[in-house]
Amino acid sequence: MVAPNRPKTGTGSAVDWYSAVFELIDMRSFSNLWYWIALAAVWSQASRYVLGVPYDMIQRAERNGGQAEADMEELVRINCNRLLYVAGVSGLWLIGIGAMLVTMLALLGFYYDMEFAQAVFLLGVPMIAVGGLSVHTAGVIRDQALDGRPLRRLMRRHRTLTQFIGMLAIFVTALWGMYQNMTYGALGQ
């Protein structure tokens, strides 16, 4: 006689729950849709905000002038002063801690072959470049006391460079992700 199907109790249902959660939050980052969504969101936000100023505000200042331009210039001044203050007060600490983290991610990812560390490295290192570019641009704005058209031109150039870094980063990440998926995806690791 065949035993009737009974619902699983005890650890069987817990194991199924854990496996479902860990399947959703897969540590194999390059085969996970959430990683690619996060990558797109990070670069979308990085190119939308130029030194903390929404790009549509820069466009509105160029079209309308007057109060819109004064608001944009004031917001640029506030964000540049804040960014340069943080860089001046704790810049060396941030560089040291950042170098340690990048080195750790590079070693874990590419020497010890940990895919999650590779994914974070490929997401973080280009953002560090954008951060350095932002500090440089903020310094130029403050030192030259830019306003009006020269300020808007520099902000557009900063956004274009950020978008170029983002396109390059997404391209390299996509190539590395395809390589990882073709190499290790077939092995089932």
The domain locations on the chain are 83-177
Say how far apart CA 187 and CA 189 lie, in whole Å.
Answer: 6
Average pLDDT, the chain: 86
Q: Give me 181's structure tokens.
A: 């998926």
Mean pLDDT across 35-48: 92
pLDDT at position 75 over 90: yes
Radius of gyration in angstroms for the set of CA atoms belonging to the chain, rounded to a whole number:
23
Say how far apart CA 185 and CA 166 lie, in whole Å.
Answer: 26
Summarised one tens digit per residue, pLDDT across range 4-38 is: 555 555 555 656 766 666 555 555 678 788 889 99
Task: With residue 79 as reference, give the H or E element that holds it.
Answer: helix 66-106
Mean pLDDT across 34-58: 91
pLDDT at 80: 94
The reported pTM is: 0.78
pLDDT at 184: 75
For 3, 42, 65, 136, the CA distances from 45, given in Å and listed in that order, are 58, 5, 25, 19
For 43, 71, 77, the CA distances from 64, given in Å and listed in that order, are 28, 12, 19
pLDDT band at 119 (very low <50, low <70, confident <90, very high): very high
pLDDT at 174: 92
